[in-house]
Amino acid sequence: MAELTYEKHDGVGLITINRPDRRNALSDTVIEGLTTIFTESRRDDSVRALVLTGAGTAFCAGGDVKREGGGEETWPPSPDRMPSPAAIRVRLADHMHRVPLALAELDKPVIAAVNGAAVGAGMDLALMCDMRIAARSARFSEAYLRVGLIPGDGGCFFLPRLVGIAKALELLLTCEFVDADEALRIGLVNRVVDDESLLDETLALAQKLASMPPVHVQLTKRAAYQSLRLDLATSLELTASHMAIARSLDDSREAIAAFLEKRTGVYTGR
**Helix runs in the chain, H state only:** 28-41, 85-94, 98-104, 121-128, 155-163, 165-174, 180-185, 198-210, 214-227, 232-247, 250-260
Point out the residues of the chain with pLDDT beneath 70: 65-82, 251-253, 255-259, 261, 263-270
Nearest one of 225, 23, 15, 44 to 112, comparing CA atoms: 15
Cα–Cα distance, 110 to 10 (Å, whole number): 15
Do 140 and 112 meet the contact criterion of CB atoms below 8 Å apart?
Answer: no
For residues 187 and 163, is the Cβ–Cβ distance under 8 A? yes
Predicted local distance difference test score (pLDDT) of residue 230: 94
Coil, helix or strand at residue 18: coil
At residue 12, the pLDDT reads 98
Task: Report the alpha-carbon distance of residue 82 to residue 78 in Å, rounded.
Answer: 6
What residues have CB less than 8 Å from 108, skipping those under 6 apart? 41, 42, 47, 48, 49, 50, 214, 217, 218, 221
Residue 80 confidence (pLDDT): 58
Q: How many whole angstroms separate alpha carbon 51 and alpha carbon 111?
A: 5
Q: How many residues appear in the chain?
A: 270
pLDDT at site 64: 76
pTM of this prediction? Answer: 0.88
The per-residue pLDDT for range 186-218, each reduced to its tens digit, is 999 999 999 999 999 999 999 999 999 999 999
Per-residue pLDDT tens for 159-169?
999 999 999 99
Q: Cα separation of 129 and 118, whole Å?
A: 13
CA distances from 265 to 45, 48, 188, 212 (A): 21, 17, 30, 9
